[in-house]
Structure 1
Amino acid sequence: MQNKIILVIMDGAGYEACVTQCGYLEGAVELGQAQRWKMITATPTLSGPMYETIHTGLWPHEHGITSNEGMRASERPNVFSLAREADKTTAAVAHAYYHRLYVDRPWDGLRSVEHHDPETDIQHARFYSMEGYGAMNAVAPAEIDLCAQVTLLAEHHAPDYLLLHSCSADTLGHSFGGDSKEYRYQIWMIDNALSRAIPIWRAMGYDVMVTADHGMNAEQHHGGMEKIMREVPFYYFGEAKGPNPGKSLSQLGLAATILDRLGVTPDAAMRPGFL
């Protein structure tokens, strides 16, 4: 079966924070409109390595991106490249790191924010840089604006695979800590925007998956082995049935899961999917 997929990555949003703050997502689970599992990430629990792990199904030590400072273009088969090779259309609303990974050209801060090229792995995109973010100014796009850009890309280009990547929870976590009111409130802000967007995306025919790349500890940090860093949620709005809700999922199975739902054969090196 071939489906269209929107994947939402709430950067830095840990499992417990989402379960306690995401009233819309948790309400959908309670009503049977969505399924939710705990997902265990790979390590090191850093953003760049996890973006590539999510899209290649490989541990960072296998795909070779093991730090944010070591970011480069992806060298392994990934969701974007395999979907494009299968004549699917890809799109993203995401941080500039995704441009570095899946758009094979230099980043131009004044031109690369809007991207349309059928020859690149991400074919249609709205990128943002968050240049200079910190406690003084998060410089994060509003969550509803990100959802709006996803909706417009879906309406204008009908991508088969569409990524929404929000950095705001990670930013507030680094500024105030993963046990702060600012961090928890921002996770709720993401949930609040999704409450208006997901029904529209579902009506447009998309399966919707919502997860995180990693969590955040109280010391404003991630990258290690703490449970609060490695445990993230995985919500699924769609018709497929996954494992028992009490079973923890591996982040490494997400790439194959997305491709299976798209009707695209995963790469042989990818871990098996779970839907």
Structure 2
Amino acid sequence: MKKASGFEIVAARCWNLLNEGKPFTPIFTVSVYALYHMGSWGDGAFWTQFGLGLLAGLPLFALYFHYDFPLFLRNYLWFPVVAALILWRDAPLELGLYALAIGLFLFFTIYFWGTFYYHLRIGTSWWNFKRFWKLVLKNSDSTSGNAQEQLPKFLLLLFVVDTAGAKWADASAAGGDFGWGTYLLFLAGTALFAWVMHRNLFDWKPKEMPGYTTPIEAPADRPEGKVFVLVIDGMRKDRFEEADAPFLKKWRAAGTEYTQMETVYPARTVVCFSSMFTGTYPREHGITSNMVWKLGIKVESIFDSLRKVGKRGRLLGIAHLIDSMGDDVESVTAVMHNDKADRNIMERAKLIMAEQDPDLLVVQFIATDQTGHSMGALYGEYRQKIEEADALIAEFVAWLTERGDADDATFIVCADHGQADGIGGHGHLDEGERYVPFFLHGPRVRQGVKIDAKQSLVSVAPTLSYLLGAPLPSHSRGPVLTDAFE
């Protein structure tokens, strides 16, 4: 099982510039405008006009970088577009520019991303575009594949850049009047509109724990075994219920299940893993999307806590997780056929146990998530990957048992987030994303227990501290899940 190469790590970061919605919007807008006017690149007047247009549009670029307009709020993005067309109704519309933008967006998302990229990376069919176009049009997450959010954003930005640049660069009195007073009012109105929308309608973000975790010591005479956290990335709770997963469901019935385990906002993989293993929220650990602008978490992780007591933890996952967890990650390449991904990850997990013998091993199974992103979470292929993960985990546990590593061990099985309809969307906490499967199994875990009280994945790190006799990470806020233990 190959590690992620240095090239793959850099390539993953570059891909996030196009994958994550916030950086994609300005990159795409500027690129489309430049391509449309490619024949004028040798004309200095064009670059003057382009620069002036970008200068005029800069406040809007900043506004749309700050505000996501998540889920149903994206429906309101057309109001500023309509307002601009009314205010500057005399402006000539470059219909070819907007047609090119829409065409390139659909080509990028449906074919380049949904077909070409996924075929080369995980072996998806060359015909995947036949399904992917439907997924893009209804996708609701925070990525560039969210058509209903990206279309009104880049169309308005292109209109402002084109109209303002042309009129500002025109020295004649008739052509040079863009109506800057009107534009300033438009900017102020759009900013106020965005603020009001988010303040009054954005009300589904999970509430944070107000204080830090209360330390709880484990009984002194309790044997300390290893702990394994098995994360089936992107596994929807309802799809897990539908899946034929006998091993995991048997474990769940014989252990303690948290039926209302909530992920964090935004529900992006690197954000969720950072919160799970620091015990706190994005505003504190500093990872706010899969696009990590400044590498490394700002607070202590469970891996730091374990080092303080002479213990070792490892996180086996894809290259994205290195951006937040650094050297605590045993990376795996994500460039492989998706039918082989989880098998290879499990074999690598065996190798880590055999060679390093960590006290804590976190394993990220990725095939379910990748199938949701490439083929949709509501299709049979997605459920099949959950079933394959079940069989692989059963095999891994049998191997651990033969070695004696499962003696007195505690297992936590969960997802980092669910997935919504569309291209396996997750981020904004749409239906299917928010609540995740979560249960514990082991000799110290209460048997046949269901806990219906709402909990958060920020409880993972403090619970690991409790199980492994380590101090709490510095900013841990989640409560220890003590009601799971005898």
1:254 and 2:460 aligned: yes
Question: 1:121: how far off?
Answer: 3.9
Q: Which amino acid aligns with 1:60?
A: P
Corresponding residue of 1:100: 323
Sequence identity (%): 22
| TM-score in terms of structure 1 length | 0.83
Q: CA RMSD in A?
A: 2.1
Q: Which amino acid aligns with 2:343?
A: I
C-alpha contact 2:292 2:323 (8 A) present in aligned 1: no
Alpha-carbon distance between aligned partners in 1 of 2:225 and 2:398, rounded to the nearest angstrom: 16
Q: Which range moves more in the overlay, 243-252 or 14-23?
A: 243-252
1:174 and 2:397 aligned: no
Higher gyration radius (CA) = 2
C-alpha contact 1:169 1:186 (8 A) present in aligned 2: yes
Alpha-carbon distance between aligned partners in 1 of 2:302 and 2:463, rounded to the nearest angstrom: 10
Corresponding residue of 1:110: none
Residue-by-residue CA offset, 1:152-176 (whole Å, 9 max, x unaligned): 2212222011111111111110111
| Correspondent of 2:439 among 235, 244, 257 | 235
Secondary structure in 2 matching 1:70: coil
Q: Which amino acid aligns with 2:394?
A: S
Residue-by-residue CA offset, 1:71-112 (whole Å, 9 max, x unaligned): 621221111111122210122321112322222xxxxxxxxx
Corresponding residue of 2:480: 273
Secondary structure in 2 matching 1:214: coil
C-alpha contact 2:299 2:474 (8 A) present in aligned 1: no
Alpha-carbon distance between aligned partners in 2 of 1:244 and 1:8, rounded to the nearest angstrom: 19
Residue-by-residue CA offset, 1:190-244 (whole Å, 9 max, x unaligned): 1111111123335413311111110111212111122411111112111133974
Secondary structure in 1 matching 2:296: coil
Secondary structure in 2 matching 1:173: helix
User: What is the aligned length?
Assistant: 249
Alpha-carbon distance between aligned partners in 2 of 1:223 and 1:210, rounded to the nearest angstrom: 21
The 1:68–1:142 alpha-carbon spacing in structure 2 relative to 1, beyond 3 Å, is closer
Secondary structure in 2 matching 1:252: helix
Question: 1:129: how far off?
Answer: 3.1
Corresponding residue of 2:247: 24
Of Structure 1 and Structure 2, the greater strand share is in 1
1:223 and 2:433 aligned: no
Of Structure 1 and Structure 2, the greater helix share is in 2
Unaligned runs of 5+ residues in structure 2 are 1-221
Corresponding residue of 2:309: 86
Correspondences of 1:84-233 after superposition (within 5 Å): 84-103=307-326, 120-122=327-329, 125=330, 127-131=331-335, 138-139=337-338, 141-202=340-401, 203-204=404-405, 205=407, 206-220=409-423, 221-233=425-437
Q: Which amino acid aligns with 1:217?
A: A
| TM-score in terms of structure 2 length | 0.48
1:36 and 2:257 aligned: yes
Question: 1:138: how far off?
Answer: 5.0
The 1:145–1:138 alpha-carbon spacing in structure 2 relative to 1, beyond 3 Å, is closer
The 1:142–1:129 alpha-carbon spacing in structure 2 relative to 1, beyond 3 Å, is closer
Secondary structure in 2 matching 1:236: strand
Q: Which amino acid aligns with 2:257?
A: R
Question: 1:145: how far off?
Answer: 2.7
